[in-house]
Amino acid sequence: MVVEQLYDYFDKCALYLEKKGTNTYLEGLAEAGENLFQHKIVQPISDDDQAVLKRLLNNVDKLEYKREDVRKALQLAVLKGMKGAVQPHHSMTPEAVSVFVHYLFYKLLGDKEKATVLDLAVGSGNLLYTILNQSKVPLDAQAFEVDETLLKLAYIGANLQQHEVNLYHQDSVERLSTPKVDFVVTDLPVGYYPKDDVASHYELKAEEGHSYIHHLMVEQGLNQVKDGGFLLFLVPNFIFESEQSKALHEYLKKHAHILSLLQLPQSMFSSEQFGKSIFVIQKKGNGTKSPSQALLAELPSFSKKEALADMIQRINKWFADELGIL
């Protein structure tokens, strides 16, 4: 019920501001979130418009909500705003996938009492905040996003969910000066990277033409994670089938241990070409070693409870046998 009330607030505010022609729907969501966080209307708009937004705000201002209520309500509204507005491979990480990545993250976190996390393409923050909201230990998070509107939504989401996140409005393929982290978690953008001068500093640059952004971000992730640290990526299913994949494979063999590649159910994606997998690797370091066998599997539909429970049992067994993680 609380999620529906919050969604109704975000949606009505965004639609109103969009209708007024002052904002896109997604920009309107960020403004609605700012008003909710500040408990007042902060936009310099007419008295009539202020009154409309104030009425909507009054409906939820005294509402008691949890972090997950806000995340889910914002997620639903962002999904609505993204329909037709962005390319399918730039869309939000699906809810079930975020939850599954969170499960793998906490397996790898083990008995650490705190950890640092980096998201190289945070979008509106849904994947990162799913992990932060469920955390039993303090997580110090940093995140990059090149799209200003999505970054504003991530900023609003962090405030409303009471997370201290260092957010950077920057292309994360460019040189970064942030400290190295324990974990990198990123839903990788897919396609060609236009800045050949920036790509030229990477081992995974294309020999000719543009480089793949999803390859460059894998390399950047390995640059930014500590030795022995873990990286969880959402990658396109074709990542090891493209004309540049041989170089990626060689690079990974040199710098990382491949732990698992879990293909997500096809039913989650509008077409086969947009299908993704969860790719988990570990940066080589003192005492690290490759598993005797990587975990390769096709995940069943998340609505098939029994099949999913069997798969999780299989994954748990792999973690115990290969990594000694219970």
User: How does pLDDT run across 206-231, given as a tens digit for each residue?
Assistant: 988 999 999 999 999 999 999 999 99
Are 78 and 103 part of one and the same domain?
Answer: no
Are 98 and 67 part of one and the same domain?
Answer: no
Are 116 and 259 part of one and the same domain?
Answer: yes
Number of structural domains found in the chain: 2
Are 21 and 101 part of one and the same domain?
Answer: no
Are 72 and 94 part of one and the same domain?
Answer: no
Question: 187 burial class (0-12, 13-18, 19+ CB within 10 angstroms)?
Answer: buried
Q: What is the mean pLDDT of residues 35-60?
A: 95
Q: What is the mean pLDDT of residues 139-158?
A: 96
Are 294 and 239 part of one and the same domain?
Answer: yes
Are 151 and 297 part of one and the same domain?
Answer: yes
- Least trusted range by pLDDT, from 63-77, 89-103, 233-247: 89-103
Are 72 and 95 part of one and the same domain?
Answer: no
Model pLDDT for residues 246-292, shown as the tens digit of each residue: 999 999 999 999 999 999 988 887 777 788 999 999 999 999 999 99
Domain limit, last residue, from 62, 82, 102 = 82
Domain limit, last residue, from 82, 100, 124 = 82
Are 243 and 273 part of one and the same domain?
Answer: yes
Do the Cβ atoms of 294 and 237 come closer than 8 Å? no
Are 154 and 46 part of one and the same domain?
Answer: no
Query: Could you tell me the pTM of the whole model?
Result: 0.94
What is the rounded radius of gyration, in angstroms, for the C-alpha atoms of the chain? 21
Are 93 and 58 part of one and the same domain?
Answer: no
Domain limit, last residue, from 47, 82, 117 = 82
- Following DSSP, what letter does each residue of 35-63 receive, concatenated? HHHHTS--S---HHHHHHHHHHHHTTTT-
Are 53 and 101 part of one and the same domain?
Answer: no
Domain interval for residue 288: 88-323
